[in-house]
Structure 1
């Protein structure tokens, strides 16, 4: 009888500990809409981050784009319709490839050179996920963030519109 009580007490303490462990991320969003994604930043933070990129952008322009009017591209624009359609297609393709899609990773890329003119910088969306039925997944560790790996054979998204002019900083 004593062992049964200790076993029940152990389960209760374990469940309580797990509850608080899973709630730790939610504490930082107190008073906010639960649908608000992590990483939302305000316009002042956007300005700070894009201005911190200026020295890198200037280095790229001084070397690769020194003879190109307007310099390299600083941004990519995608329509909501294109992004939503891409996510739908990528999720279906992930299922077909036997993956659980958990997000997208953005890669910096560059369009191919045309003659002597270097291609503009672009952003590439790539689906990420984990194989379906992964072994040893007793708990959902995606709560910890980081996401899965790039899905081999998953479709990417490119061809966003560049800034106008390409060298425009935030805000445009």
Structure 2
């Protein structure tokens, strides 16, 4: 009888250990909390910003494009979600290896030159550059650094571009 009690106790302990230490199925695992980033604007505000760009910049930008032999210049750039996620992973990895803490991404406007080929010649483009600060040890007297500089990593360009307005 003493052996049966030990076996039952062993099964109970084993069941508790299995319950607490074995991985749960996907439905049992809580999903990651989704946080709305600061700076998200409404569709109406985006439409207003786009209309203001059209009102105040389109004529000047398109007239400059006409001097270069184009009717319209690019108004936007787009990358696939895979390209953006892959670039962020790449940039974080490169930042770490260069001794930087990557804290953001900066978007720049650029213009392809006259030697860029007929499809891109003198058109506006946009490219992403990782930003952050040089990693400092905790023993450093320069712990407080709020300025974010570009990290010397190859930027992401080659997004799709177009001249249509929002939306």
Same fold (TM over 0.5): yes
Deviations 1:115-161 (A, max 9, x none): 7984211111000011111643556x76xxxx61111x212100100
Structure 1 segment 8-19 matched on structure 2, within 5 A: none
CA contact (8 A) 2:65 2:123 kept: no
2:161 corresponds to 1:158 = no
Alpha-carbon distance in 2 for matches of 1:138, 1:89: 26
List runs of 5+ in structure 2 lacking aligned partners: 1-32
CA contact (8 A) 1:61 1:72 kept: yes
Residue of structure 1 equivalent to 2:12: none
Residue of structure 1 equivalent to 2:73: 72
How well do the aligned residues superpose, as a CA RMSD in angstroms? 2.5
CA contact (8 A) 1:102 1:128 kept: yes
Deviation at 1:64, TM superposition (A): 3.2
CA contact (8 A) 2:95 2:153 kept: yes
Alpha-carbon distance in 2 for matches of 1:112, 1:67: 10
CA contact (8 A) 2:136 2:143 kept: no
Structure 1 segment 12-161 matched on structure 2, within 5 A: 35-54=35-54, 55-66=56-67, 68-114=69-115, 118-133=121-136, 135-136=140-141, 148-151=148-151, 153-161=152-160
List runs of 5+ in structure 1 lacking aligned partners: 1-32
Structure number with greater Rg is 2
Aligned residues: 130
Residue of structure 2 equivalent to 1:168: 164
Partner secondary structure for residue 169 of structure 1: coil
Deviation at 1:61, TM superposition (A): 1.0
CA contact (8 A) 2:130 2:150 kept: yes
